Structure 1
Amino acid sequence: MDEIFQDRGRGRTLKSKTRDILKKRLPILKWMPKYRKGYILPDIIAGITVWLTAVPQSLAYAGIAGLTPEYGLYSQFLGPFVYIVLGSCRQMTIGPTAIVQLFTYQKCGEDFPECVVLMGFYSGIVELFLGILQLGFLVSFISEPVTIAHHPQIFYVEPGRHCPWSYMSCGARYVEDTERCTPANEFRKPTSVEEVILGSVRSGFPPVGLPQFELYNPNGNSTVPMTPIETLQFLGTGPLVVAFGAILQNIAISKAFGHGQTVDATQEMLATGVTNAIGGFFSSIPTSGSFARSAINDASGVKSPLGGMVTGVMILLSLGYLTPFFQFIPKASLAAVIICAVVFLIEVESISLMWRTSKLDFLCCTVTIAASLGLGIEYGILVGVSVSLAILLLNSLRPSMTPEFKIDPETNVHFVLLKPDQGINFPSVDYIRDSVNHIARHYDNYSIIVIQCDKWTRWDFTAANALVFLTKAMSKRGISLVFYKCRPEWYQLLETFGLKDPPCCFHKEDLEDYFMQMEPELSTSSVCNVTANPQDETSDDEGNMLLESSRSFPNYYNFD
């Protein structure tokens, strides 16, 4: 009978785990049962409002990528339908964005515009692969200074590719000769209407089929057949850069409108990956979350992701019935849409705030900008992440640990207290060891050095082994190295490394008992070299130890 109940319990556990996984990876199962009738009207209003913004932006962003306008609409209708099922942020709107299309154009250019669709398809595969492997934590290694720094790259034009150096030198000479500047009324006027308006936009549902692994060159009016491997070689790191750019945008939007809730980066990878991968079968260009349209969606009072479905339906209706009217949209209007979308991408205020608050973050941002402009966006992000990790390792290399020279009022024992502000690991163990050796050499009247270990939540083999050898070395010199407020696991670990009766004090009382067990002459012979200042004698947070003085260590590299 007990086995039957155990089997039923396992069955219920498996069923509940499956249900939890489905709700986590299919958010529609979580919010749809809570949907109310009162949400219908706000969702319809928000969906139509976003549609009014999405149409001109989509037409303009297709031009950025080097394609005809209808490709922007092809990529706009699919995202909302996918995000209804997989999305975790109700305000999010998926579609073409300026930053992603500019990244795409830098890789594809005007020679092979059809590769933009392949770029979106491959970037979707990358995002989907990262999501399936649950690698959302990788985004945590891309700091905000790196994210801010890669935006100025969109204004950069590669001289050797997009404009010859002769054009730049000619332009420089022309600017220098101010007398030859062309008056505003002498600018060339358009000779035909086609130069002013958008032109015809193909109507109807987008063609459905496998992505074409062949690239069309409009300049040579020829098609270049390629294998999937050859297209990957042609695109290089482009899909990876576009994928990370889209993921970063989605996560930034989710954080901005999440009202403090935890953002599931893995889920955003899955949602964006499925959208771009399926979009490759509908001639869609690369897509991501749009901050501007998401802000409009939020301001319009959207209540659920169903507002995106309204936008998607309106885009489909536009493809079927409104495209003949799009041809009269002035190109200048679409240019204004692009300018308004990208002009605020350089966050000058954030860079200024970084300079005032953290010089290291400002350095990381500056290095990333320089690397992006000089080496390309993909290498710029790589350099920025490397600098961020180096700064992170630098902080863990040297924990803040100012020595405090104290007296125990019960036993009159003089000792040095060290309080590391972070846990111990192999990068920081050398600094801690050198700090203890420095105290032992320069303050030889102190026979007890106490290390407060309340911040040590975890440790590694290198750190534990080094401190065991340090404890033994200090003992041979007549100095007791005591670990205060440590966990019982630390005591067991020291024993495992061969340290007999490790000097560990878990509480304040244990430390006082340890002092009482010391030889009586310790308290009388340990005459402090530091003259106590009555103004400096204050009780610490435990109220039983008096602080004599606090001295900062010399520079790490000046330890002799």
Structure 2
Amino acid sequence: MEAKNEKSLRESYECLYGLRFPNSKVFDATDSGSGAFNGSSSNSSKNGALDLSVLIEQDEPTVAECCAWTRARFFTKRKFRRLLPPLKWLPNYSFNDAKGDIISGISVAFTIVPQGLALASLAGLPPQYGLYTSFMGCFVYSLLGSCKDMAVGPTSILAMIVLPYVMVGGAQYAILLAFFGGCLQLLAGILNLGFVVDFISFPVISSFSLAAAITIASSQLKGFFGLHYSASRVLEIYINFFSTIGSINLWDVGLGCFCLLFLVPLQIFKEAEIMPHWSKCKPRSYRLVNFIYSLIVIGRNALAVLIGSLIAIYYGQRNNDENLFTLTRKITPGLPSFDVPQFSVLSVNGTVTKPFGEVYDDISTGIFAVALLGLTESVAVANAFKSPSSGKLDASQEMIALGVSNLLGSFVGAFPATASFSRSAVNHNSGVRTPLGGIITGGLVLTALSTFSTYFEYIPETALATIIITSVMFMANPTDILIIWRTNRIDLIPYLITFITSIGIGLEVGILIGIGVSIMILLYHMARPHIYSVIKETPSGHSFLYVKPDRSIFFSSIEYMKIKIGKNLKTLEQINMNSGGRETNCLVVVDGEHMFRTDSTFALGMKNMVNDLKSRNVSVIFYRLRRIVFRVIVGVSMHPTLFHNCRTEEEVYRLIRTLNETTIKHSSSMCVGTLKRSHSHTSTYRDELGTRHLWMTQSTSD
């Protein structure tokens, strides 16, 4: 009999865990008082029961096996092709590819140079820092990036997030934000955490974009009107603006209005077709006119800076007044040096040196905001311009490329960078063929730094302000709130919270709070699944409580499920009391059809609930429970158990009839009984329900 039980037990666990137990490898993992089978009947307990808590002893791997596994896992051709995307497209690079990359690289350079100057001003930095940020991202992404259209460099949102930290610690704080933000992005990419950006919901992104557009445009009022004050929050900006409104420079306002009248129509009609009626009668003239117009549209920001600078120089010399317009500050000409960032920073007033601990406390919030927003923008741009033939976007590789760009950029004095929608659109429309176009752009930026940097000080601030204002005018879509109102009004909560905190506290805090609120709402819905609970009857007239969750149940839902079961259980007990004096057991049937995964906390909670119901003479039957869920639930039991899990409805009805007709006083709700039960009782139970049904594993569905 012991040999038969041992064989049956072995078969059950082999089916349950998908493992095979060699006789020499199974050993006892329980207390000394209990036995485990190992091919010998001497390890059985005195009463013949067998311990189900067994472990499998595995041979420890050798160094050679570890090296072979590491080589096969990390050092394959596929891994190298993923880490270095040029290995995919460079062998087939053609002359036509080079022509498209050169044209697009030049086009993006005409856009990124004036934008870099303007965004450095937005971040509170000298103009050359915008170009430092521009060229390194172009070079690195060409080697590590997977999206040919993406143009990495400074953006208005990241520049606005950097501004309050620059006001505290100067340019060094901006450089450290790029360094630590890049480290965080690189780590996320190495750990394959590309899915993290999926937790940023549409209401949070939409609300943050609207708040960022308002904040950025408000911050440029100072440069547009020629005022002088320091502020980074919207409320502070308008307080300072109205307090200094009497000092408006009308020359700056006039030049700013001229730049707006030049830039806004080109921004609105950037895809317009000039002289369409010439396309048939004068095709050459038609192509020439539209080509010139496309060049003007692409280089509109550079033209605005050039025209504004010429106007400022002309009227300044004519009136013999160099301060007629508010010009950018003097800058450091030439190329930057390649140095490790300084982690102890001299304060803005130049009197106190802050140690690294204080510096990190100052910028810690900004590090996470910069890393998260950079990843979000980068993945969003890559998805927007991804071609159908390129396959699924590798978000983790994009994280690696962006992280290395920021990390190396900090060595040349760059502030945080990410992908830009506007420049990526220019890149795409210019016919870029491969990421190699970024090297052309980076080379032209370096040329501008080494050749024209001495002339940057003649650029009017109002011209840079208008470039930023026009770039953010179309960044946000306020009508998104109507979509949210019509679809799911619960999403208004993260939308409004993100907007209010971003405007009132700051963009870097607002986005983090918005993401937190959005995740809390997501977790709330996960913790409150729909649980169908109703009292049913078998064909033989036995009542039972039928419970069916509509999804997988995890630790956050166990208490909620207990409450739902407890409410209807009282009704079931009342029905059994009124059953005409017939003694019946209260039964709960849990349908696991939609339970694909679970966790140990849920299993422990179910065990406690079943034990609690056992004390009330209530039995629990699981129906259509999957093997992976069954493993978790059985794994919490430290003593041998037999588990009710039926595969078909007929098996459920038979088991309910048996439990109501058979007196089982000491059976667990989760368990029919233990292996310590007498063999005669076990045999009777098998005769009535079937052997494989008793051992559970044979009726578990996948």
Please, what TM-score do these two structures have when normalized by structure 1?
0.76
Is contact 2:553–2:597 with CA below 8 Å preserved after alignment? yes
Look up the match of 2:75: 18
- The one-letter code of the counterpart of 2:513 is V
Alignment of 1:84-483 (within 5 A): 84-109=142-167, 112-113=170-171, 115-132=173-190, 134-151=192-209, 152-153=211-212, 155-156=214-215, 192=321, 195-196=324-325, 203-211=333-341, 214-215=345-346, 217=348, 225-258=353-386, 262-323=392-453, 331-404=461-534, 415-443=544-572, 444-445=574-575, 448-471=587-610, 474=613, 480-483=619-622
Is contact 2:599–2:632 with CA below 8 Å preserved after alignment? no
Of 416-425 and 52-61, deviating more is: 416-425
- The one-letter code of the counterpart of 1:464 is A
Is contact 1:66–1:110 with CA below 8 Å preserved after alignment? no
Look up the match of 2:118: 60
Offset, 1:76: 0.9
2:647 to 483, 496, 506: 506
Change (3 A) 1:173 1:68: closer
Of 42-51 and 94-103, deviating more is: 42-51
d(CA) in 2 for partners of 1:96 and 1:167? Answer: 23
Offset, 1:100: 0.7
Is contact 2:155–2:417 with CA below 8 Å preserved after alignment? yes
d(CA) in 2 for partners of 1:214 and 1:393? Answer: 41
Per-residue CA deviations over 1:70-98 (Å, capped at 9, x if unaligned) read: 22122211111111222132221111111
Is contact 1:197–1:327 with CA below 8 Å preserved after alignment? no
d(CA) in 1 for partners of 2:660 and 2:322? Answer: 101
d(CA) in 2 for partners of 1:216 and 1:519? Answer: 80
Look up the match of 1:525: none
- The one-letter code of the counterpart of 1:418 is V
Equivalent pairs: percent with the same residue?
31
- The one-letter code of the counterpart of 1:510 is E
d(CA) in 1 for partners of 2:616 and 2:503? Answer: 57
Is contact 1:404–1:417 with CA below 8 Å preserved after alignment? yes
Structure 1: any 5+ residue segments left out of the alignment?
1-5, 522-560
Is contact 2:84–2:143 with CA below 8 Å preserved after alignment? yes
d(CA) in 2 for partners of 1:165 and 1:371? Answer: 12
Offset, 1:99: 0.7
Offset, 1:259: 5.1
Change (3 A) 1:515 1:195: farther
Change (3 A) 1:406 1:91: farther
Please, what TM-score do these two structures have when normalized by structure 2?
0.62
d(CA) in 1 for partners of 2:68 and 2:644? Answer: 49
Change (3 A) 1:469 1:149: same
Q: Please tell me whether Structure 1 or Structure 2 has the larger radius of gyration of its CA atoms.
A: 2
Offset, 1:314: 1.9
d(CA) in 2 for partners of 1:116 and 1:479? Answer: 64
Offset, 1:46: 1.9
RMSD: 4.2
Secondary structure at 1:445's aligned position in 2? helix
d(CA) in 2 for partners of 1:400 and 1:367? Answer: 27
d(CA) in 2 for partners of 1:127 and 1:285? Answer: 15
d(CA) in 1 for partners of 2:103 and 2:237? Answer: 49
Look up the match of 1:80: 138
Offset, 1:103: 0.7
Is contact 1:99–1:342 with CA below 8 Å preserved after alignment? no
Secondary structure at 1:418's aligned position in 2? strand
Of 320-329 and 436-445, deviating more is: 320-329
d(CA) in 2 for partners of 1:194 and 1:74? Answer: 28
Look up the match of 1:538: none
Per-residue CA deviations over 1:271-324 (Å, capped at 9, x if unaligned) read: 222222222222222211112111222233322211211211222232344556
